Structure 1
Amino acid sequence: MTSETYLIREIEQKDNAQIAAVIRDVLIEMGVPKVGTAYEDKALDIMYETYNKKNAMYFVIEHDGKIIGGGGVSQLDNFEGNTCELQKMYFLPKARGKGLGAQMIEKCLTKAKEFGFEQCYLETMPYMKAAKKLYQRNGFDFIDGPMGDTGHYSCNVWMIRKL
């Protein structure tokens, strides 16, 4: 791959350590609490295994042989309804500002539609302004409270989009 090639592909087991490091690095960079957020999720260290199930998919962004970001979709936990969640979408600084976020959202939502989901939910933090703008540009609207039970009680911005 050339230095300007960014590949969005399905996660492989060999990506587990790299994507876990990316997510934790971004969360630390953003000052996200380590409790009540994705930082403490057991799934971070076994992302391939976590998403290797029905109606779930996780994608990584590879650049020069390194994982620099990722994002996925899966059934929204503890929610009655045909709703998925956009999950663990985090990019290192070198992946930002290149249109990769919109590409990742499109890839995830296309897969969610293939799985038959009717809407997609997400949670974020109030100070993640660029992320909130990205989500809004891609059809997500703010809602007044959480849906399901993600375990991320420190995330207090909730958004939804019909598929």
Structure 2
Amino acid sequence: MNTIRKIKKEDNAAVAALVRNNLKKFHLNIPGTVYYDKDLDHLSEFYSRDDRSYYVMENPAGEVIGGIGYARFASMEDTAELQKLYLDDVAKGFGHGYKLIEFIETKMREAGYKRSYLETHENLKAALHIYEKAGYTEIERPKEVVHSTMNRFFVKELSIR
């Protein structure tokens, strides 16, 4: 059984490789994506603040096979940005993306956020499908976008459960 837990310093290299491998596969290993973010190799430190958090999914052997996080999105009130949802190829096709989204939305609600925002790219067809099926609605590009290459933007109200 796979487990989801908070990122640890020992996970930094595995998560950075997971992100970079996925972006490279979809020709997004270019400036303006998280591929070149200075914090990518130190995510456990980056996500150690109160307004953000990152989690990894590991298989029964303890290998990191996925991850997802959130951080406050200052340009929209009461909004967290869903960040860095990536899965290893061996973990794709089993519904893990949906499980991670549901998990992180619960964490966002617990942190007091009322909506989730995300940005992605048209090359990531599977991600677009998952986000739309998970209830995200496409919106216009916010002016505060950090990753300039991203060209698809979504939001979802986080209903109280």
Using the size of structure 2 for normalisation, the TM-score is 0.92
Of 7, 21, 24, which residue of structure 1 is paired with 2:20?
A: 24
The residue identity in structure 1 corresponding to 2:36 is: E
Deviations 1:89-143 (A, max 9, x none): 1111111111110110011100101111111110111121111110111110001
For 2:154, the equivalent position in structure 1 comes to 159
The residue identity in structure 2 corresponding to 1:135 is: Y
In 2, Cα distance between equivalents of 1:33 and 1:156: 15
| TM-aligned CA deviation for residue 65 of structure 1 | 2.0
In 2, Cα distance between equivalents of 1:133 and 1:8: 22
Answer whether contact 2:20 2:29 (CA < 8 A) is retained: no
| TM-aligned CA deviation for residue 56 of structure 1 | 1.3
Segments of structure 2 that go 5 or more residues without pairing to the other structure are none
Identity, in percent, stands at 36
Q: Is residue 73 from structure 1 mapped to residue 97 from structure 2 by the alignment?
A: no
Give the RMSD, CA atoms, in angstroms: 1.3
Q: Is residue 129 from structure 1 mapped to residue 130 from structure 2 by the alignment?
A: no
For 2:39, the equivalent position in structure 1 comes to 43
Runs of 4+ in 1 over 4 A off after TM superposition: none
Segments of structure 1 that go 5 or more residues without pairing to the other structure are none
For 1:52, the equivalent position in structure 2 comes to 48
Higher RCO, Cα 8 Å, sep 6+: 1
Using the size of structure 1 for normalisation, the TM-score is 0.91
Answer whether contact 2:117 2:156 (CA < 8 A) is retained: yes
